[in-house]
Amino acid sequence: MVTKIAVLVSGGGTNLQAILDAEKSGIITSGKVSLVVSNKEGAYALERAKNHSVETLVLSKAEYPTNADFEKKLIEELERREIGLIVLAGFMKILSADFTSRYPERIINVHPALIPSFCGEGFYGLKVHEAALSYGVKVTGATVHFVNEIPDGGRIIAQKAVYIEDGDTPEILQKRVMEEAEWKILPLAVEKVSKEIAEK
């Protein structure tokens, strides 16, 4: 039994690409990306999905103005396709407690820092790396965790450290954290959780 996966995206989809590549290379065998959902029209992640013949869906703010409308439609689409695992990959929208409690330990997210550092509300994208650099930490990294009602508050699945180097800018650090940590631990976590769900 293979776990059907939905990946939720908002932008370029580099983490989605890492998952699709891991599926192709045999790192992920217990799960299959069946759907890519974007809350933004024209997100490049949708192109990546199409290039791998994965079904895409756009639930834009214009069509679903409130969070409740958005989540109601999302739940309908996920259930219709019997999705077992939801992966947040650069998804710039906070999901409500009603939504997350419906899928306990079935939603995972990758965060570009070593939780509990530089996480929670307001810490996303470059802001995380700016905070790490301004604080002066010597080691940062990425964390894959389950999603619950608290932003970045769910149980940790995997972490990988990345050293901060002299002369790092937030952009340079973001790229290194992606390449050395996010793109490595996210596919492994997807496989681990997909396998656990498939065996239930």
Catalytic residue IDs: 111
Q: How far apart are CA 22 and CA 183, in angstroms?
A: 9
Cα-based angle 119, 123, 129 (whole degrees, multiple of 5): 95
Q: How far apart are CA 50 and CA 3, in angstroms?
A: 20
CB 143, CB 113: distance < 8 Å: yes
Ordered alpha helix ranges (H), the chain: 14-25, 44-51, 67-80, 97-102, 126-135, 170-177, 183-198
Residues β-bridged to residue 30: none
Which residue in this structure is represented by tokens 């997210």? 109
Q: How far apart are CA 21 and CA 18, in angstroms?
A: 5
Q: How far apart are CA 88 and CA 110, in angstroms?
A: 7
Query: Strand 31-38 and strand 3-9: pairing?
Result: parallel
